Amino acid sequence: MESSCTALLHKLSLFKSLIFLLHLFAFLCTAYTAQQPTVLKDAAQNDLIDQLPGQPGPVNFTQYSGYVTVNATAGRALFYWLQEAQGGSTVSDLAPLVLWLNGGPGCSSIAYGASEELGAFRINSDGATLYLNEYSWNKVANVLFLESPAGVGFSYSNTTSDLRTCGDNRTASDAYTFLLNWIEKFPKYKYRDFYIAGESYAGHYVPQLSQIVYEKNKGINKPIINFKGYMVGNGLIDDSNDYKGLFEYWWNHGLISTATYKLLQTACALNSFISPAGGCINALDKAYDEQGNIDWYSLYTPKCQKFLSKVLMRRQYRAGHPWFAGYDPCTEIYTREYYNTPAVQKAMHANVTGIPYAWETCSDTVRTNWSDSPSSMFPIYQELIDAGLRIWVFSGDTDSVVPLTSTRYSIDALNLPTTTSWYAWYDYTAEVGGWSQVYKGLTLASVRGAGHEVPLHQPLRALILFEYFLNDKPLPSTTPKS
């Protein structure tokens, strides 16, 4: 009897020990799980911008900036700036996420997209203070600006040769790695509707990155990067059609002679748009001589006269110079001054490694050493159109660098069926905002009176365009309600 009781007590002791171990395991799992969001939250919190130098008081949105490593071996890290949607967390937690890329190649999305186009702030002529952009795209979305590739802006590589071996392939691959790592830092954006947008040479960056995201998402029922579509403004699409439209635009806008027009058609027929060679370079030089001292990116606005003092500029503003209407051609000067200020860099968690060169709007080193640039984006467009992704292409009609004629020739060459023929669309002032045509799988829109940087020259129309893209609605054929 005693041995039976002893055996029973031993079994009860083992059972109690097992129960204790199960409780301990449950406690440790709970503690570990509770700790993870805190760690991730802290990672994002370290990038929180309290207030930028010269910022006009508190704002109704949160912003972050900092670095994401994309290649630890080479020491490549890309710099970003996130401007969450205006209206606080109740709005930003529901709004889509949009990645914005500028082109060049070698130009900064902080310099252009964030600071003179669609970002929340613009820089005053003193290079030290900011003012709010009334038509910022973070009114309707969380906007993520990325300086890419490494060597552009604050983005850097500890492997110096990386700056001389940039190209389309590595730029797209690093941007995808950036997205994966960034979204781990900001897990609340997992599964959020996600779009990619950009302009100019981002006509390559945007579809190339879109293709990677789309293909990596294949077979995943609920992808973390919930990619819905992309939009490209005044972007390179296909070298042959881009050149054809470029020379035609120059000729029919009176920028070049008929003889030079014919020379360009012959000499540049099979040349790369980004790296012309031989007789094409000579023909282009002749065309540039004939065009004179104009702003190729905005045909009908004044160039920045860099020799003018700020005092003289202010006098011209007061005297009713066209710049007073809202366009200042010297914004790049103010941008350089602002982002090279130590206090600004500290507030933005930028230049933490002490980059051995000044921040620039564009990197000549990256641009002149570009290594790979496919002649056409047609295969990617066709693949992503067939996939049913939302694709919009827009074009400011006063740009003579990648003009509307180039874009129209390229889109026409895709041979897509038309669902809505060419029509005028309207902005909130009852003015024609531009023209649009809807194809099966793609929407084309022009923006009236806009140059290469559409949101810089026509901010209201650009914001309307962006809103209708996000809502997947055709641009309004009558005056929309504001």
From CA 209, how far away is CA 201, in angstroms rounded? 13
Write the pLDDT tens digit of every residue in 414-431: 999 999 999 999 999 999
Q: Is the pLDDT of residue 258 over 80?
A: yes
Residue type, 226: N
Tokens coding 169? 């392939």
Report whether pLDDT(321) > 60: no
Predicted local distance difference test score (pLDDT) of residue 13: 52
Residue 362 has pLDDT above 60, yes or no: yes
Catalytic residue among 174, 239, 397, 399: 399
Q: Residue 274: its pLDDT value, please?
A: 84
200, 210, 363, 446: the active-site residue? 200
CATH homologous superfamily, domain 34-238+331-419: Alpha/Beta hydrolase fold, catalytic domain (3.40.50.1820)
Cβ atoms of 86 and 118 within 8 Å: the answer is no
pLDDT at position 309 is 43
Asked whether the beta carbons of 323 and 312 are under 8 A apart, the reply is no
Cα torsion angle, 16, 20, 22, 23, sign: positive
DSSP state of 199: E
106 with 164: CB under 8 angstroms?
no
DSSP label of 192: S
Across residues 42-51, what is the average pLDDT? 89
Residue 326 banded pLDDT, cuts 50, 70, 90: low
- The DSSP bridge partners found for residue 445 are 394, 436
Please write the tens of the pLDDT for every residue from 260-306. 999 999 999 888 888 898 899 999 999 999 999 999 999 999 998 86
What whole-number distance in Å separates Cα of residue 395 and Cα of residue 452? 8
What is the percent of the chain where pLDDT is above 90? 81
- What does the block give as tokens for 438? 């809807």
- Beta bridge partners, 229, equal 195, 390
- Domain residue limits, the chain: 34-238+331-419, 240-330
Of all residues in the chain, what percent are helix, strand and coil, respectively (each to 5)?
45, 20, 40
> Three-state SS for 382?
helix
**Does 200 qualify as catalytic in the annotation?**
yes
DSSP E strands in 48-126: the ranges are: 63-71, 76-83, 97-101, 121-123
pLDDT of residue 478: 94
Is 17 labeled as catalytic in the residue annotation? no
**pLDDT of res. 12:** 42
Chain mean pLDDT for the chain: 89
Q: Beta 76-83 vs 63-71: how paired, if at all?
A: antiparallel
Is 386 designated active site?
Answer: no
pLDDT of residue 90: 87
pTM: 0.88
> What is the number of helices (H) and of strands (E) in the chain?
15, 13
Percent of the chain whose predicted confidence (pLDDT) is above 70: 87
Given the residues 115, 157, 174, 452, the one annotated as active site: 452
Strands 130-132 and 121-123: antiparallel
Of 260, 251, 252, 283, residue with least CA distance to 270: 283
The pLDDT of residue 156 is above 90: yes
